[in-house]
A = this chain, B = another copy of it.
Amino acid sequence: VDEFEIIRRLFVPETKSASVIVGVGDDGAVLRPKPGYDLVTVVDTMVAGVHFPAYLRAEDVGYRSVAVNLSDIAAMGGDPKWMTLALTIHKAESEWLEGFARGLFSAATAHGVELVGGDTTSGSEIVVSVQITGEVAADRIITRSGARAGDAIYVSGTIGDASLGLARLQLPHEDAARSSDDNFLIRRFARPDARIAVGQAIASEATAAIDLSDGLYADLEKLLQASGVGGRIEVNDIPLSAALRAAADSAAVLHLALAGGDDYELCFTAPSAAFDGKSEIAGVPVTRIGQVTAGGQLSCTLAGNEYQYHHSGYRHFSEQ
Q: Which of A128-136, A149-157, A182-190 is the contact stretch?
A: A128-136
A234 to B46: give the CA distance in the assembly, Å: 47
How far apart are the CA atoms of A47 and B41 in the complex, in Å? 24
> A43 vs B118: C-alpha distance in the bound complex, in angstroms?
6
Chain B residue with Cβ nearest A129 = B86
B317 touches A122 (CB 8 A): yes
A28 CB contacts on chain B under 8 angstroms: 40-42, 72-73, 75-76, 78, 320
A82 to chain B, nearest CB (A): 7
Alpha-carbon distance between A197 and B267 when the two chains are bound, in angstroms? 45
Q: Annotate A4-39 by CB proximity to B: 1 below 8 A, 0 otherwise.
A: 100110000000000001101111111111011011
Q: Is the CB of B119 within 8 A of A27?
A: no
- Is residue A280 within 8 Å, beta carbon to beta carbon, of the partner chain? no
Judge whether B50 and A27 touch: CB under 8 Å: no
Nearest Cβ distance between residue A53 and chain B, in whole angstroms?
A: 15
A42/B319 in contact, CB under 8 A: no
- Let me know if B26 and A144 touch, CB within 8 A: yes
Please give me the residue from chain B that is nearest to A87 by CB atom.
B45
| A315: Cβ under 8 A from any B Cβ | yes
List B contacts of A21 (CB < 8 A): 38, 138, 141
Given contacts A38-B21, A317-B92, A75 and B27 within 8 Å (CB-CB): yes
Chain B: minimal CB distance from A244 (Å): 25
Min CB–CB distance A276 → chain B (angstroms): 24
Given contact pairs A27-B75, A117-B320, A38 touches B44 in the complex (Cβ within 8 A): no
In contact, A127 and B88 (Cβ under 8 angstroms): yes
Of residues 74 through 96 on chain A, the ones whose CB sits less than 8 Å from some CB of chain B are: 75-76, 78, 82, 84-88, 92
Contacting B at CB under 8 A, from A288-311, are none
Bound: A73/B30 CA distance, A: 10
A118 vs B45: C-alpha distance when bound (angstroms): 9
The answer to whether A30 and B129 touch across the interface, beta carbons within 8 angstroms, is: no
Q: Does A262 contact B (CB under 8 A)?
A: no
- Give the docked Cα–Cα distance between A136 and B82 (Å): 17
Query: A237 on the interface (CB 8 Å rule)?
Result: no
A51 within 8 A of B: yes
Interchain CA distance A119-B318 in the complex, whole Å? 6
Q: Is A123 an interface residue (CB 8 A)?
A: yes
Contact call B50/A122, Cβ cutoff below 8 A: yes
Pairwise interchain contact B45-A86, C-beta atoms closer than 8 A:
yes
- Knowing A75-B27, A86-B129, A143-B22 touch, does A318 contact B42 (C-beta < 8 A)? no
Can you give 5 contacting A-B residue pairs, CB < 8 Å?
Answer: A27-B73, A33-B39, A43-B84, A43-B131, A45-B88
5 further contact pairs, Cβ within 8 A, besides A29-B42, A43-B86: A25-B226, A27-B75, A35-B35, A41-B82, A122-B317
